[in-house]
Amino acid sequence: MSNIDKKLGLVTKIRNEHSDIISGVHDLGFNLCHLSAYNPGMLTDEIRDHFRKEMKRLDVEVTGFWAGWSGHVVWDFVEGPITTGLVPPHLREERVALTKYASDFAASLGVKMVMTHIGFVPEDCNDSTYKSLVPVVREIAEHCRSNGQDFCFETGQETPTTLLRLIEDVGMENVGVNFDAANLIVYGKANPVDAIDILAPYIRQVHIKDGLYPVDSKKLGKESQLGEGQVDHPALLRKLVAIGFDGPWIIETEFQGDTRNAGILKAKDQLKEWLSAL
């Protein structure tokens, strides 16, 4: 396995049929992955014990854990601001508890980074919703710190400048960014290459995927296969390497069915080609 191969990983979701989750990552030629839990009810002792055994047996490392939430969540510009993340005040108490639980589950697997979408963070720092969000994020970050973990915000639903301000206002060394360039595009928030200049000191890990800017005022832009969207990956990777980021590079796709694995393998080859050129 080449040095580049050792730094490539895959995002995979925890689901009811969990027996092939870690082996599925391994069978596609990866030894790194991010686990995503959209249903906290899946974070059982049985699944934890199974993952531990499979990670050891197949020598697969989980480098990040994406903490999602139960209940009504809509990924768009209309209901998204009131259903996603920690921003909606009426959802915070439950989601703080769920995120802490996910942190504990991840810690039991030896995972050192927990990430999530914070939500549509208000750009106005004088907004009462913003002001009340800061201590909530700090509370979760403190819990992650007690588990020896970083707590990372996945880019997308807020502008990079707003995200930077939130990190600075929280003021904790274990708070960082899971940089997802495609999210910045599909949410219409920024040119991801330029966003690196703003968030560089805080980038802990990177999701590799592609997408298109939104053309509907109510709907997100569409995800596309790697290399077929509007993320300038050669420029993006070049700038990330220039600031000292050297992986892991974690491929993510929301495509399902027959196109998923073929798209992952194609993306893996394309990513290796881009990284080899650097």
**Residue 178: which residues within 8 A CB-CB, separation 6 or more?**
64, 113, 115, 152, 153, 154, 155, 204, 205, 206, 207
Output the tens digit of pLDDT for each of the chain's 278 residues: 788 999 999 999 998 778 899 999 999 999 999 999 988 889 999 999 999 999 999 999 999 999 999 889 999 999 999 999 999 999 999 999 999 999 999 999 999 999 999 999 999 999 999 999 999 999 999 999 999 999 999 999 999 999 999 999 999 999 999 999 999 999 999 999 999 999 999 999 999 999 999 999 999 999 999 999 999 999 999 999 999 999 999 999 988 777 888 999 999 999 999 999 98
* Cβ neighbours of residue 9 closer than 8 Å, sequence gap 6 or more: 25, 30, 31, 32, 33, 34, 63, 248, 249, 250, 251
For the entire predicted model, the pTM comes to: 0.95
- The domains located in the chain, with CATH, are 5-277 (3.20.20.150)
Could you give the CA distance from residue 108 to residue 111 in angstroms, rounded to a whole number? Answer: 7
